[in-house]
């Protein structure tokens, strides 16, 4: 979408859809495009230089997770990482069992991969969530079977900001035998810290453009010595598990973005949560019948706020705000052009008018107090105007 011309300052609060690339990231991408443009598989010096960029980026992406660089495999983005995790692990384990467990509120790249596996003879259980969007743990315990091979649960819900109880999930799985645990960490990377070893996570998906990196690049963490089948074949790249010439410019930018995120992590988390709570308070006090969907602003992920204004159409509100230079969304960017209501908000059991009138506001560490005040003022004005019509 082309950003519209507005009279005042642009306030970008759709950072769960994507983030602006940092200047250091742009510079790293540019250098890999115009200076270090060799193929990392080539044996000559330019190839070696490109391979060195991959090695450095892999180390930076791994350090933000607290894992080994050799456990990181680059992909074309988060969707490929999720597809690969689900399909690759399911295929590699199908002799042991064909039952997979996930939740009703996962991203479409997990849900559609699961539905594809169902068509191939796998059985999938979709766990319900509570009113905050957190997975019901008793349902997980009841759903585990002798032929369960894989459980896939996101760390942070992309529409609500709900942080899933992964420690409790890991504790349950530890009592039920060799079930692999995949986590979609695309919305949590650089915002919510996980201890992958303690949680016994086997696979975990990442995306660069959610942390001020380039679009078109992501990664899949695979625990060392995991038996995994490739999704793409035809080359020895990524240690034979992901064929195709690596996106060196994108990966270079990803590494820089991960490094910068790691250096500012505690301060970024604190700042985003403060801005989120500041905006939530302004909206709840300034707009009658405004509701927070999902967890309370004091809990959940620090950067996602989902608010309903029953009786309004969210799409209309989003476009009114755009005219004022305020950019928010109606939910997941991957489904923003569909007419269907959010499957995440439906899973919470919300009434239709609350679902139809919901917007997602998502922060980055670059947002400011002044921007939040500007957004609050604009949202209050637009909601009041729409309710007068």
Catalytically active residues, by annotation: 334
Contact (Cβ atoms closer than 8 angstroms) between residue 292 and residue 280? yes
Spacing of C-alpha 107 from chain mean position: 8
Contact (Cβ atoms closer than 8 angstroms) between residue 63 and residue 269? no
Contact (Cβ atoms closer than 8 angstroms) between residue 279 and residue 271? no
Helices (H) and strands (E) in the chain, counts: 13, 12
Task: Work out the burial of residue 148: count CB atoms within 10 Å of its CB; fewer than 13 is exposed, 13-18 middle, 19 or more buried.
Answer: buried
Distances from the Cα of 72 to the Cα of 54, 242, 304, angstroms: 11, 11, 27
- With CA atoms as reference, report the closest residue to 263 among 114, 133, 365: 365
Distances from the Cα of 43 to the Cα of 38, 59, 100, 244, 250, angstroms: 10, 22, 42, 17, 21
Q: What is the DSSP string of 89-115?
A: HHHHHTTT--EEEEETTS-HHHHHHHH
Residue 352 backbone dihedrals phi, psi, to 5 degrees: -60, -40
| Distance between start and end Cα atoms, the chain | 28
Question: H or E element: which one contains 127?
Answer: strand 123-127
Q: CA-to-CA distance for 278 and 375, rounded, in angstroms?
A: 11
Residues for the chain: how many in total? 389
Bridge partners, 304 (sequence order): 362
CA atoms within 13 A on the CB side of 58: 22
Q: What is the dihedral of CA 131, 126, 194, 167, to 10 degrees?
A: 80
Distances from the Cα of 51 to the Cα of 29, 75, 243, angstroms: 14, 16, 15
Q: CA-to-CA distance for 389 and 384, rounded, in angstroms?
A: 9
């Amino acid at each position: 979408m082309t950003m519209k011309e507005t009279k005042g300052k642009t306030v970008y609060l759709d950072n769960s859809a994507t983030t602006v690339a940092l200047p250091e990231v742009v510079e790293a991408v540019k250098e890999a495009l115009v200076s270090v443009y060799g193929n990392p598989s080539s044996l000559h010096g330019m190839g070696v230089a490109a391979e060195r960029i991959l090695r450095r980026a892999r180390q930076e992406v791994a350090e933000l997770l607290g894992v080994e660089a050799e456990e990181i495999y680059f992909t074309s983005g988060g969707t490929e990482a999720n597809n690969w995790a689900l399909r690759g692990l399911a295929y590699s384990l199908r002799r042991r069992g064909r039952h997979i467990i996930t939740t009703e509120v996962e991203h479409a790249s997990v849900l559609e991969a699961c539905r594809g596996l169902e068509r191939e003879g796998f059985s999938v259980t979709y766990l319900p969530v509570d009113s905050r969007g957190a997975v019901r743990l008793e349902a997980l315990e009841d759903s585990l079977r002798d032929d369960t091979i894989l459980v896939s649960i996101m760390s942070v819900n992309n529409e609500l900001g709900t942080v899933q109880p992964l420690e409790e999930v890991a504790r349950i799985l530890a009592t039920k035998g060799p079930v692999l645990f995949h986590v979609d960490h695309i919305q949590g990377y650089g915002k919510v810290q996980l201890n992958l070893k303690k949680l016994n996570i086997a696979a975990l998906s990442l995306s660069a453009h959610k942390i001020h990196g380039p679009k078109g690049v992501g990664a899949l963490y695979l625990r060392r010595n995991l038996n995994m089948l490739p999704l793409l074949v035809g080359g020895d790249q990524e240690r034979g598990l992901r064929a195709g010439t690596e996106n060196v410019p994108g990966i270079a930018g990803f590494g820089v973005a991960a490094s910068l995120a790691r250096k500012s992590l505690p301060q970024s988390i604190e700042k985003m949560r403060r801005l989120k709570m500041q905006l939530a308070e302004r909206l709840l006090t300034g707009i009658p019948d405004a509701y927070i969907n999902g967890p309370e602003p004091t809990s959940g992920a620090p950067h996602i706020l989902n608010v309903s204004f029953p009786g309004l159409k969210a799409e209309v509100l989003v476009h009114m705000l755009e005219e004022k230079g305020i950019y928010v969304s109606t939910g997941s960017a991957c489904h923003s052009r569909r007419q269907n209501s959010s499957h995440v908000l439906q899973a919470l059991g919300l009434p239709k008018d609350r679902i139809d009138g919901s917007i997602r506001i998502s922060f980055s560490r670059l947002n400011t107090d002044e921007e939040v005040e500007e957004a609050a003022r604009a949202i209050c004005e637009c909601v009041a105007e729409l309710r007068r019509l």
